[in-house]
Chains A and B, each alone.
Chain A
Amino acid sequence: MSSRRDGLDWKNAYARLRAAEESLNTIDLRSQEEIEALVRARTKQLEALENAPPLPDSVDLVILSIAGERYAFDVKEASEAIAITHVTPLPGVPTFFRGLISHRGSVYPLLDIRPLVGGALVRAAQFSQAILFTSGGSAVAVGAHAVESLERVDVAELEAQRNQTDLSASVRGKTADGATIIDMRALLSDVRLVVDDRVSVIEHNVD
């Protein structure tokens, strides 16, 4: 401390210079091949860093409203948002299927997602808009009364919600203003969505 009070800390300065000299001597001891290998390895590390996908620290959501309730979906999972002009009724399926719609030559079942994500299936006006989702050969349209806006949320925040609250499998969390964020991949995997009339009931039916 006394030498610092006097001005320059010569003792430490000499120590750093010795360390630097030793370090230079170590490098000089490496062969040209070793140095080239080191450079190649560092180049690869840099390339890997450059090519790595950016960290998904945020997710863009499309917000829609259904009978006053607000829901959000990752925009990357949605194919398109469309206006609904005609819905063909589809009898014999669960009531959350509101019918069929057609868009660009494909047919989509129109879903009222509320009962599938913990909400109530309250009778509501006809949907005027829909967001189309296709995944793994499945195709559904999520009905909405309005597609409101786009919003960005922090992934870490969603993860925290996921860990802290008892959410259903298809719900990722809530946005700051209360919209329920839907995990569409999970929703499309929900067994309740599957309509398959091929099951044989001979074994069970004793009529």
Chain B
Amino acid sequence: MSTDRAEALRARLLATFRLEAEEHLQTIASELEILSGGVSGADTPEHVETLFRVMHTLKGASRSVGLDAFEAAAHRCEAQLRALVDAGAAPDAALLGTIRDAADTFAAFVAGAANAKDLARVGAEKKAADGDAPIKAHGAAAIVPPANDVIRVEASRLDRLVVLMEDLLSPKLAVAAHAAQAVEIAEGIVRIREVAKGDVLDGLRVLEARARRHVEALRSDQRALQTTIDDLYDELLRARLTPAQTILEAFPAMVRDLCRATGKEVVWKSSGEHLEVDRKVLNLVKDPLIHMVRNAIDHGIEPPEQRVASGKSREGTVSVTIAAEDGNKVSIEVRDDGRGFAIDAIRDAALRSHLATPDAIAGMTDAEVTELAFSAGVSTAPVVTTISGHGRGLAIVRDSIERVGGHVSTRSTPGNGTVIRLDLPASIVTYRALLVSAAGTQFLFPIESVERTFAVARETAAAAVEAGTLAQGDQSLPFGSLETALGLTKHDGGDDVRVELPCILIVNGDRRGGVLVDEVIGEREIVVKPLLPPLRRVRNVLAAGLLGSGELVLVLRPFDVLASLGSHAIRQDGDLLARPRTPSVLIVDDSITTRTMERNLFEVAGYSVAVAVDGMEGWEMLQSQAFDLVVSDIDMPRMDGFELTSRIRANETLADLPVVLVTARETHEDRERGLRTGANSYVLKSGFDQTVLLEIVRRLL
């Protein structure tokens, strides 16, 4: 690349960085405002996490354009925020001030009003500030704002336009219905006119003529409205299409800098730059892509000498391929020919982060261990560097992709490299979905998750639901009814005498399963509406989808539905149409505060609740009443939770009763003892989270 071209590219990258940094700084400002304004304790971690993520992204973006001083400053801020995220703590005024000062300096730098020297003072903790070595200001000249030769529309404004546009979809369909009703009225007048006489006849003729003119006018308006709204909507969505190049052009410089920093030698390749993709999708994958490429270089590609020693070329290869897929989908593959995922290191990291028990981790296949790399807190890096090592990146990647109905899959071969593939809908505003009904309610499955629909004989379906599996050729598929998977009340099918029942085969990555539904209604184009907090993630539900009729229907999450198929199959009692009843929970605790809190928690969640003040009273109640689950403290007078659990397990009638111990005893020995006595779950009060307790109970029932 000639010097002129390189300079031109760098200028363009800096201009892009400036725009991106402004967006991130706006987010930082609004999060700081929320945190400074006394956000509630429950919401604080979420806002701190957002600050952390944005600072992380800002750091990556600055690195991409070689702004070392900026990157170092962002890294210092990120490290302080990360400590808060890990501790689940709230920022104090000093830290908020540090981040606010940092954001001000970043903004000044981006506007050309600050330099690398200013950045060197950013984000340093007070004690360390004086001893910091000056940071080399390589490539950190202040950015000169670009000439104002483009009109920039805020993404949020474009999104708002789309939302307003969607509001017109219902009136558009309503006008069609009104026109049809007008035709019916006109036809009614004609029928009456045919039998009318005299003055009435004359009056009806006038009325008929007026009705016909009205119908014509309505039809004309309907056509105009439909065409205009459809075109406007298409254009609006098209306005969000952006060439993939916009996110790929920053990578060569970033890869070059990463190589310099790590001593690696890498050939960068990319394809699919000219593919136009919804900018929302591109925005969504930009940070995950940066993270994956950094990971590939930092963790994947071996040092040159090591590669040569193992018979590889001195230079490693990292590539990103963006491709259009069938079904309005886009795939993005990040591929490297490095050492592959370090399976043993991931196992160790998973153990360190207590992601699963040692036995569970030891029993996992390599593929399952690879999946663990996408869990929060798992980092195989021995040292946290500015490039990677926080152990959150891949978790963020998966979370971001799955939020929009996408899927992440990984293939890694020790010694030969890794391929991480993201499958995404090309547009996350609208996509096609299969509309089905179950228990009298309509639901949508993303069309890419539906392999096919098929029919099964009623008796076969009942037997398959009971068994939890369905024989398909030489395969045995997990199988269940949708209403059971979703925990719905059975809809009265009335006089349903169908010999065969409709099913769909859904897929998610390598998982497949059959789902019995009441009806397969057909494929639909839907407008996707994300669920907002407090609905952060609802089991089985990906989003809400707006049908053309304006009706809101739930879009189901195939991953969860497939997971639910198995668990429900185990619990089927041979009664396909069993009506769910209210589960009953016995709470045993000597603290009235804990009892009241837990009673309230479970009652609000829809459980029937009884309480006992100690283990002895709990044991007596268990002799006379039937419960579905026991939640018990350990330290109680007369009979403690260990004894109560032991008695339950030793009792022939109660042996299978799930027991959850909620305790302040945090030692490993206590936990082991609790589990040895037969508790199904051991929850620490110190890390007590109502959502976790409800989730555990829900899974046990």
Contact = CB atoms under 8 A, between A and B. Distances in A.
Interface stretch (B256-264, B298-306, B452-460, B684-692): B684-692
A174 B604 CA distance: 23
B537 A195 contact: yes
Nearest to B683: A204
Nearest to B486: A91
Interface residues of A, number: 48
Contact of A195 (B357, B536, B606, B681): B536
Interface residues of B, number: 61
B163 interface: yes
A101 B552 contact: yes
A196 B487 contact: no
A202 B358 CA distance: 11
B540 A206 contact: no
A45 to B, nearest CB: 28
A57 interface: no
Contacts of B601: 192
Contacts of B34: 136
B493 interface: no
Contacts of A90: 535, 538, 541, 554
Nearest to A111: B534
A196 B42 CA distance: 13
Interface stretch (B123-131, B182-190, B194-202, B525-533): B525-533
A136 B39 contact: yes
B45 to A, nearest CB: 11
Interface string A62-106: 000000000000000000000000101111111110001110111
B681 A206 contact: yes
Interface in A180-197: 185-186, 188-197
B441 interface: yes
A109 B533 CA distance: 9
A170 B551 CA distance: 33
A56 B395 CA distance: 46
A201 B563 CA distance: 14
Contacts of A92: 486-487, 538-541
Interface stretch (A10-18, A27-35, A47-55, A137-145): A137-145
B3 interface: no
Most A C-beta atoms less than 10 A away, residue of B163, B354, B488, B552:
B552
B603 A115 contact: yes
B552 A100 contact: yes
B406 to A, nearest CB: 16
Nearest to B681: A204
B535 A109 contact: yes
Q: DSSP majority for the B interface?
A: mixed
Given A105-B167, A206-B675, A188 B534 contact: yes
Given A88-B553, A91-B486, A202 B355 contact: yes
B606 A94 contact: yes
Nearest to B169: A105
Contact of A197 (B39, B533, B539, B603): B539
A199 B689 contact: yes
A199 B34 CA distance: 25
Nearest to A134: B532
B92 interface: no
Contact of A204 (B487, B541, B696): B696
B42 A189 contact: yes
B604 A116 contact: yes
Contacts of A191: 42, 690-691
Contacts of A93: 535, 538
A189 B538 contact: no
A102 B679 contact: no
Interface of B: 34, 39-43, 162-164, 166-167, 354-357, 360, 375, 399, 441, 486-488, 529-541, 544, 546, 550-554, 560, 601, 603-606, 675, 679-683, 689-692, 695-696, 699
14 contacts: A88-B551, A92-B538, A104-B163, A104-B164, A105-B529, A106-B532, A189-B40, A189-B42, A194-B536, A199-B691, A201-B699, A205-B680, A206-B675, A207-B680
A-B CB proximity, top 9 nearest: A189-B40, A105-B163, A196-B536, A193-B534, A197-B539, A197-B537, A95-B606, A102-B552, A138-B533
